Structure formats: structure tokens, C-alpha cells
Amino acid sequence: MRNIAMEAVIADLNTTCPNEGCTLRFNFDGMQRHLKECPFGEMDCPMGAVFGQCSTRCKVSDMAVHFDECHKEQRSAEIDKEMYVFNICMETHKMFLIKNGPYNFLVHVKVDEKERKISMTVQLLGTKISADKWTYEFHVYNKRQPLRKYLYVDNCQSIGTPVADIFKESQCATLPLSYAMTFVNESALTYKFFIKKEMNQRGRRRGPRNFNDAN
């Protein structure tokens, strides 16, 4: 028989995180959320989870070091750095690990040749609650046409949501290839991204904002 009273007592007890090096304490429900994003916990390398190219498990706090040692190309992107997509009609999926303070983010840029679209999104290596506290922006532009720009703003996604599902449901910046072609200059699509910690006044999830040809 279930002891409801005892279950309630256990749920309210604060215990220390079991991950070595972490001294934070939570009740049962809080602990379950914390363990999904604890920087002292371990997770599969996203290169393995997304592309099947790595079997390493390491702490979230050590993920950037792992990428620096094993996936250097995926550390070549930076916030507010001019980036390029070449041959935008060819199927590609670029993923970059970005470290912003103690937080780790994955930036995805995918060209879907079959669906004729380009998708861009940012995931936090953490829970959905934490991800909702961050926004990302993608700016797509052609330097020869300074008055035209595609701008998309949205909350970051959690690593708990597979990026394939994000792209499938278009819950991200999505440009039809025919439209993206209008920004191509010298065979490349130019873009920048930004990641900011920001919440609206009521602390609720900010909806996506899509500005085509913003001035």
C-alpha cells in the first residue's frame, strides 16, 4: 500500500545534488529539473546525438573544452560574427557550440534541399525553463543592399527538444530558398546571430518575431 503522507514528506525534503562538485540542494521535483542542466552532470556529446559522429560523455561545464579538442570546426562561430552559408541549394547542416558565460548553446543552420528552405535555431544545453529565459536573433543580409535585412527573434529552445522536431515544425527562423537567394552575394548567404538573456515583464515565453526585409 502507498504511504501518501510519507511520499509527501520525501517530496519536500531538500537533498544535495548527487553530481560530484555540485553543492546545491533541492526538493524531489526541483532535483529532477536541476539534474537535466546541472553543469556537474554528464551528457552525450551533441555531435553524437545529432550526427552520430561522437560517443563521448562529459560534464556540461566541460563541453566547450571537449569541442575545442575534438570538434574545432564547430567552435568557429561567435556571437556577432559574420558567418556564411555557401552553396545554399545543397543539403547541409552546420552546428556550432557557443559558450556565453557559464552557459552552453548550440547554433544550428540547416539547408533542406528537399523542402527548399533554410532553418536556423539556437538550443540551450539545459531545461526548457532555463531556455525560456534566453532569446536569440538571426540577421540575414546582403552587404551590397544595406537597407534590406531578414530578422528573426525568438526564445531559445532546450536541448531536450530534438532539433529535427524544431525544424520539422518550423519553430525557428525559416527562409524559403527562393527568398534566401535574394540575399546571396558572391555565392554566399551572410548572417549573424545574437544570444541574449531577456524576459518580458511578466516572465512568460516571448513569441517569435519575424521581420522580413527590415530596415
> Could you read off the pLDDT of 110-147 as tens digits, one per residue?
999 999 999 999 999 988 888 999 999 999 999 899 88
Instruction: Look at residue 4 in the predicted model and tell me its pLDDT.
Output: 62
Report whether pLDDT(6) > 70: no
> Cell numbers of 166, please?
524544431
- The CATH classification number of 37-211 equals 2.60.210.10
CB atoms within 10 A of CB 130: 16
E-strand ranges in the chain read: 15-16, 25-26, 42-44, 57-59, 83-86, 92-100, 103-112, 117-124, 134-141, 149-155, 157-158, 173-176, 188-197, 209-211
Entry pTM: 0.83
Alpha-carbon dihedral sign for residues 198, 180, 106, 125? positive
Which carries the bigger pLDDT value, residue 106 or residue 89? 106
Instruction: Look at residue 152 in the predicted model and tell me its pLDDT.
Output: 97
CB 105 within 8 A of CB 198: no
Kindly report, residue by residue over 49-104, the tens digit of the pLDDT. 999 999 999 988 899 999 999 999 999 999 999 999 998 989 999 999 999 998 99
Specify the DSSP class assigned to residue 87.
S
R_g of the chain computed on alpha carbons: 20
CB atoms within 10 A of CB 153: 19
Specify the DSSP class assigned to residue 69.
H
